[in-house]
Each structure stands twice: as C-alpha cells, then as structure tokens.
C-alpha cells in the first residue's frame, strides 16, 4: 500500500500497479466477526485503484470514527460504483493504513486490501479503470492526429484549390496572348498587302516612264535625263518597299509561329480546364439522392436540383462512361422522385429529394427521357427503358389532345413551345430506333409536322419560339440544327445556313465580363434573346452559347461529308472561336467542396431578365450545372439530341 507507519513503501514492494482513478464508494464499519459498527453507509471516493485494493479519500469524517479506523480492528464493507455497471461492485476489505491530509483535519486517505471481491467484478473494475486511464491520453492523441490530418488535408486542399485557380488563370492568359497574336498577324498581313499593292502601283509607274522614255527622240537629252532620274528614284523607292515587304513577311511568319505555339498551349490548357469542369460536376453529386444542386453560389436556390440539369448530368456521365453516377440519378427518378399524375416536377432538393417546385412542364420530362436513351445506348443497359416509355406515353397523350399533333408546355398549361416539340421529335426518334415501335415513329412525324406548320412558316423569322409566339429564342435555333439536322431541314424546305445566319445577326453579342481577379475581359457569345429587345443590354449565356457551338460542329461535319471544305472550315472556325470565348468565362468554384475546380456561370450578368420568363441566378460567380455540362458537350462535340454510340 501507499503508506505504512507513515512512511512510503518502496515501489518494488508493491504487488499491483496502481491507477489514479476516481469512483464514488460507499462503505460501513464492521467487526471482524461481521457485526456492523454503524448501520448507515459512509461516502468516499477512490484515490487510486489496484487489483489488490484501493485507496479511499474521505471528506469531513466524524472524528469519533478516526480512532476506530486507525486501530485497524474493524473491517470495511465496500460498494464501488462504476458507470458501466448497473449495480455497485461489493467487496470486503481490511484497513492497512490511515493518513491525515495536510491542511485539513477532516480529510483522510485510507489504504485498504481486499479480503474478498469477485474475480469477475474485479476484472470488470480493472478493465474500466484502465480504459478510463487510457481514454484521456488516447483522446488527446486522437485529437492531435485529427488536427494534424485536418491540417494536412487543409493544406492539400489549399494547394489543390490554388492549383486549379492557377490553371484557369493560365488559360485566360494564353487566350489573351492568342488574341493579341491574331490581332498582330492581321495588322502585319494588312501591312504586307499594302506594300504589295504599293509595289504593284510603283512597278506600273516605272513601266509607264520606261515606255514614255522610249517614245522620246534621241536628241532630247534633257528630257531623257529627267526620265532616267525619275526611273532611278522610283527604283530606289521600289527597293525600300521590297525591304519593307520582306520585313513584314518575316514579322508575319514570326507572329504565325508564335500563334501556333500559343494554340498548342491553349489546346492543352483547354483540355485540362474542361476535364476539371467535369470533376466539378462530380464533386457536387449528393451521395444519398444522386442529385446535384443546379447553382453553386446563389443562396436562395443553393439546394435546388432542376430536373433539366439532372438530365444533362446523366448524359455527361454517360458520355464519360461514369455509369454508376448516371444510375444514381436515374434511380432517383425511377424510385424516389415525387410525380404529379405521372409527371416529374421541375425541381427537387438535392439533399433529400423532396419537391422544390410543384410545377410540371413537358421539357424537363422529355429531357429525362432523352437522358435515359443516351444512357441506354452508351451503357447497353435497358433497365430504365420502361421509365422512358412511361414518359413517352404521357407526352403522346398530350399530343393526342391537339388536332395538329402539337405538344403543350405541360398538362396544366395552354401554351406551345417550339423547344418542347423539338425535344419530343428527338426523343420519339430515339425510342423508335431502340424499340422499333411504330407508335414512336408516328409520334415523331406528328411533332415535326406541327413544328413546320406552326414555327417554320415565316420567311423573315426562320424559327418562332412557339405557336402564335414570334419571340426570338436562341435555343430554338440551335436545337433546330441539333434535333432535326441540316439534311432533314433542307428536305423540309428549311435552310440551315439561314437559321444560323439569323441567330448570329440577332443574338450574337460582345460584352464585358469581370473575372474573379477584378479584371474585365471581352466575351463574345450568344444572348438568350436579341439585345435590342431587352433594356438590360447584352448578356452572354454560357449554356446557349455552348448549344450554338454544338450546332456549328454539326454544320461543319455536314459540309465535310458533302465535300464543301470552305463552308465546313467556316463553321469549324466559328465553333473554335466561341469555345475559346467560353474558356474566358471559366470561374473557380466558390465552395470548399469544389476545391477551386473550374465551372461556368449561367451568364455574364446575375439577376437579369432572360426575356423568356425567368432571370439569371444571383451571384456574379455562381457556378451553373447546365452551363458547365453543355460546355463539355460543346468541347467534345456531343449532341444530346442525337442517338449515336459515344463509347471510345
């Protein structure tokens, strides 16, 4: 024990290791024969514990019992309370020593040895004592480890975020340098052409003077001398122009080489940034619902997952063969999503899948169907084909309600949208291709006939926004090319080139966009509607610009197949130019989970009217799922409205 005759017992004489652990203890005094000295129980606490006994700490003990304890002629009946036991642990013990606590006459330490304690209960007591003993240092160690891990993780996230931001800035710098190099080439080329033109004029003048000289009589020496002097002067001027022309040609060649190097660097940086944008999409997928919040940065709708955006994600994941991610979203729509009379709602909450907007429109439902078809084709998995056909049944029912075969904007609305009928045409064609059922090919014919009769029936306005609605909407032009195709449009009497020219003339804008570093950059792209029709001025939509890029690439491929390399090159050049413009719009993710990955804002301005019944989200640097996903489609030349096998 700790003390004997008021002297410390050497450590090597101790039979058991002692642990400093405090538990409440109640005890009473008994004679050796077991008679109780005191009917009531006294209170104390363990000061330390060993397998052979304990040290009791007692406060305010009645002095009349001190002598009894010190004489050691009594036994103790002890009950030790520990948290893991519903009943106290009983023991019989003998007093070994008693010590006054210095500075307080009414506090004592009493060393006791067990005379009897259940082996099982003693083991329980020691196990808990050891756990309690080790808990604090273990907890501290765990805290230190977690803190260190958090610190390392924070550092790595910081470095990753900084690296991602730097990658975006590098692309912006290369795009700026590339633009300057192109401008320099244009200036030098214009200068070279000017020198060539001047040389041609000068040569013609020299030849004219030579001819004039030949006509002069040999005796007119003065005039001949004057003409010879003029010819010599013109020859010197010609030499100077040739020197300038050679210098301009060298400068043009150098600038062209610089641009080639910049284009190579730009191509690598564009690839890296677009790959990072795909990572941004993946990082924000909710593991429980499979959904992704549509806008990162707008607090009012921070948790909203618009159905259309989720359909784009399914297609993006299918394009990159990320079928498990696609299935997570598809499983939500197949099993968990609330539906109104069989129709999916326009929006759900990303964290729990509850409805966020109790509105049902044709477009979002059709896009879920389109996404299922793209997944089915890429994954070779028909698990969700039944869901696609149930969507088709609801749309066909709506189509049958219209004498002209048109599809209204939803079951509860009366307006007709060109966009929705284009979606339906593409969707029905996909279903007909996969299932071979005539009901879908018939529905597709009805949809295209309605489009031709109601929205392609004006020469001055190639594509109306809807039935009886002459508003210009950029996406209806882009999706006319993507959903129907230039060949089919020509067969229908529509001119795809005129469609593209019209939207370029009316909806292409160039605006200032403020980057995160406060630098302003010019962005050329496509507005939601003609700038002249809106009071807000021009605004570039990342998604709708990306839709136009997809259409440019479709037109490029169409003319390549026809053998018209000039037209193909023109459309290809525009696709690459607008893709570079989107590169200038890339922003760094604002959330901790986003790790600074690149994404695209919905538009170059926040909280402005699109001209079509909604406004752009809040936040100048709010990441948009639809803008980012469609930009990936544009970069990789993926047409979501055409069903082909995209596996690589």
Q: Write down the pLDDT at residue 1.
A: 34
pLDDT(12) > 50: no
The answer to whether residues 144 and 250 belong to one domain is yes
pLDDT(107) > 70: yes
pLDDT(4) > 60: no
The answer to whether residues 155 and 81 belong to one domain is no
Residues 576-626 pLDDT 10s: 999 999 988 888 877 766 566 888 898 888 877 777 777 777 766 788 999
The answer to whether residues 67 and 140 belong to one domain is no
The structure tokens 């060298």 sit at 250
Token pair belonging to 412: 């509860």
Q: How many helices, marked H, and strands, marked E, lie in the chain? A: 15, 19
pLDDT(241) > 90: no
Higher-pLDDT residue of 353, 203: 353
The answer to whether residues 498 and 641 belong to one domain is yes
Residues 252-295 pLDDT 10s: 888 888 878 877 887 888 888 888 889 999 988 999 999 999 99
Q: Write down the pLDDT at residue 32.
A: 66
Average pLDDT rounded to a whole number, residues 218-239? 79
Higher-pLDDT residue of 200, 497: 497
Average pLDDT rounded to a whole number, residues 385-390? 97
Residues 184-207 pLDDT 10s: 888 888 888 888 888 888 888 888
Q: Residue 111: helix, strand or coil by DSSP?
A: strand
Residues 212-225 pLDDT 10s: 877 776 667 777 78
Pick from 255, 250, 239: nearest CA to 192? 250
Higher-pLDDT residue of 405, 122: 405
Q: Write down the pLDDT at residue 394.
A: 97
Higher-pLDDT residue of 409, 615: 409
pLDDT(7) > 80: no
Pick from 337, 314, 304: nearest CA to 614? 304
Q: Write down the pLDDT at residue 343.
A: 97
The answer to whether residues 21 and 106 belong to one domain is yes
pLDDT band of 366, cuts 50, 70, 90: very high
* 303 domain-assigned: no
Higher-pLDDT residue of 587, 132: 587
Of the residues 254, 283, 312, which one is the last residue of a structural domain? Answer: 283
pLDDT(375) > 90: yes
pLDDT band of 319, cuts 50, 70, 90: very high
Distance CA(188)–CA(620), nearest Å, equals: 38
Higher-pLDDT residue of 633, 52: 633
* 366 domain-assigned: no
The answer to whether residues 167 and 87 belong to one domain is no
Contacts 24+ apart (CB under 8 A), 330-336: 330/290, 330/371, 330/372, 330/375, 330/384, 330/387, 331/290, 332/289, 332/290, 332/291, 333/368, 333/387, 334/384, 334/387, 336/289
Sign of CA dihedral 241, 245, 246, 251: positive
Q: Write down the pLDDT at residue 483.
A: 95
By residue range, what is the domain housing residue 273?
130-283
Q: Write down the pLDDT at residue 133.
A: 66
Number of residues assigned to the chain: 648
The answer to whether residues 27 and 112 belong to one domain is yes
Pick from 169, 84, 86: nearest CA to 130? 84
* 474 domain-assigned: no
Q: Write down the pLDDT at residue 41.
A: 76
The answer to whether residues 27 and 90 belong to one domain is yes
Q: Write down the pLDDT at residue 647.
A: 46
Is residue 630 classed exposed, middle or buried when 0-12, 13-18 and 19+ CB atoms within 10 A define those classes?
Answer: buried
pLDDT band of 38, cuts 50, 70, 90: low
pLDDT(11) > 60: no
Token pair belonging to 476: 């209806």
Please state which of the ranges 383-387, 457-461, 633-637 shows the lowest mean pLDDT.
457-461
Q: 87-114 burial, b if ≥16 CB within 10 A, otherwise e?
A: ebbebebebbbbeeeeeeeeebbbbbeb
The answer to whether residues 533 and 632 belong to one domain is yes
Please state the separation of Cα 147 from the chain's center in Å. 28
What is the CATH classification number for the domain harbouring 278?
A: 1.10.287
* 495 domain-assigned: yes
The answer to whether residues 136 and 81 belong to one domain is no
The answer to whether residues 8 and 75 belong to one domain is yes
* 45 domain-assigned: yes
Q: Residue 293: helix, strand or coil by DSSP?
A: coil
Mean pLDDT, the chain, rounded, equals 83
* 423 domain-assigned: no
Higher-pLDDT residue of 299, 323: 323
Q: How far is CA 546 from CA 76, 86, 461, 574, 628, in A?
A: 87, 69, 22, 12, 9
**How many domains are contained in the chain?**
3
* 310 domain-assigned: no
Q: How far is CA 298 from CA 187, 201, 279, 302, in A?
A: 44, 63, 20, 5
Higher-pLDDT residue of 78, 145: 78
Q: Write down the pLDDT at residue 3.
A: 33
Of the residues 117, 140, 158, which one is the last residue of a structural domain? Answer: 117
Q: Write down the pLDDT at residue 31.
A: 73
* 404 domain-assigned: no
Of the residues 117, 151, 170, which one is the last residue of a structural domain? Answer: 117
Please state which of the ranges 59-73, 220-234, 411-425, 631-645 shows the lowest mean pLDDT.
59-73
What is the CATH classification number for the domain harbouring 9?
A: 2.40.10.220
Q: Write down the pLDDT at residue 138.
A: 66
Residues 498-535 pLDDT 10s: 999 999 999 999 998 887 767 788 989 999 878 665 66
Q: Give me the percent of the chain exceeding a pLDDT of 90.
A: 40
Please state which of the ranges 171-175, 260-264, 291-295, 305-309 shows the lowest mean pLDDT.
171-175
pLDDT band of 75, cuts 50, 70, 90: confident
The answer to whether residues 104 and 170 belong to one domain is no
Q: Over the Cα atoms of the chain, what is R_g?
A: 42
Q: Write down the pLDDT at residue 553.
A: 97
């Amino acid at each position: 024990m700790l003390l004997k005759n008021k002297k410390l017992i050497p450590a090597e004489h101790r039979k058991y290791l002692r642990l400093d652990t405090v538990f409440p203890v109640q005890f009473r005094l008994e004679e050796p024969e077991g008679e109780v000295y005191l009917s009531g129980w006294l209170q104390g606490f363990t000061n330390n514990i060993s397998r052979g006994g304990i040290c009791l700490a007692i406060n305010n003990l009645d002095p009349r019992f001190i002598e009894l304890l010190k004489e050691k002629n009594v036994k103790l009946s002890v009950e030790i309370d520990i948290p893991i036991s519903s009943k106290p642990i009983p023991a019989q013990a003998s007093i070994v020593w008693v010590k006054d606590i210095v500075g307080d006459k009414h506090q004592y330490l009493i060393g006791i040895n067990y005379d009897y304690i259940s082996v099982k209960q003693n083991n329980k007591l020691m196990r808990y004592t050891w756990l309690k003993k080790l808990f604090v240092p273990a907890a501290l160690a765990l805290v230190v480890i977690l803190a260190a891990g958090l610190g390392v993780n924070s550092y790595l996230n910081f470095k990753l975020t900084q690296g991602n931001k730097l990658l975006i800035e590098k692309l912006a710098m290369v795009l700026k340098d590339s633009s300057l190099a192109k401008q320099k080439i244009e200036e030098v080329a214009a200068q070279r052409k000017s020198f060539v033109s001047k040389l041609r004029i000068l040569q013609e003048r020299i030849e004219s003077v030579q001819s004039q000289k030949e006509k002069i009589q040999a005796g007119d020496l003065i005039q001949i001398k004057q003409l010879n002097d003029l010819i010599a002067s013109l020859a010197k001027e010609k030499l100077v122009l040739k020197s300038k022309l050679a210098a301009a040609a060298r400068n043009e060649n150098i600038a062209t080489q610089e641009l080639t190097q910049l284009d190579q660097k730009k191509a690598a940086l564009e690839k890296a940034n677009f790959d990072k944008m795909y990572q941004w999409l993946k990082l924000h997928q909710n593991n429980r619902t499979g959904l992704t919040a549509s806008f990162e940065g707008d607090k009012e709708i921070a948790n909203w997952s618009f159905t259309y955006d989720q359909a784009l994600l399914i297609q993006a994941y299918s394009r990159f063969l990320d079928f498990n991610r696609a299935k997570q979203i598809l499983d939500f729509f197949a099993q968990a999503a609330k539906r109104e009379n069989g129709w999916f709602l326009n929006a759900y909450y990303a964290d729990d899948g509850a409805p966020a907007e109790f509105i049902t429109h044709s477009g979002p439902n059709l896009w879920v169907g389109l996404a299922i078809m793209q997944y089915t084709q890429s994954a070779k998995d028909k698990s969700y084909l039944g869901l696609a056909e149930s969507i088709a049944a609801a749309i066909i029912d709506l189509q049958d309600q219209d004498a002209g075969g048109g599809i209204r904007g939803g079951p509860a609305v009366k307006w007709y949208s060109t966009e929705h009928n284009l979606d339906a045409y593409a969707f029905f064609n996909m279903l007909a291709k996969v299932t071979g059922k005539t009901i879908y090919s018939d529905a597709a014919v009805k949809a295209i006939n309605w489009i031709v009769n109601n929205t392609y029936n004006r020469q001055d306005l190639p594509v109306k926004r809807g039935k009886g609605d002459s508003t210009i909407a950029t996406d209806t032009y882009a999706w006319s090319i993507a959903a129907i195709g230039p060949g089919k449009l020509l067969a229908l009497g529509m001119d795809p080139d005129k469609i593209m020219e019209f939207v370029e003339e009316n909806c292409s804008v160039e605006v200032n966009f403020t980057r995160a570093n406060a630098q302003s950059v010019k962005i050329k792209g496509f507005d939601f509607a003609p700038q002249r029709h809106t009071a807000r001025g021009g605004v570039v939509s990342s998604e709708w610009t990306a839709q136009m890029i997809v259409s440019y690439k479709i037109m490029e491929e169409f003319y390549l197949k026809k053998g018209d390399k000039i037209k193909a090159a023109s459309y290809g050049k525009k696709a690459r130019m607008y893709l570079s413009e989107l590169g200038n719009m890339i922003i760094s993710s604002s959330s901790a989970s986003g790790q600074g990955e690149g994404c695209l804002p919905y538009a170059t301005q926040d909280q402005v009217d699109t001209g079509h019944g909604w406004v752009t989200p809040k936040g100048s640097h709010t990441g948009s799922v639809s803008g980012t996903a469609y930009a990936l489609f544009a970069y990789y030349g993926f047409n979501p409205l055409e069903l082909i096998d995209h596996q690589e």
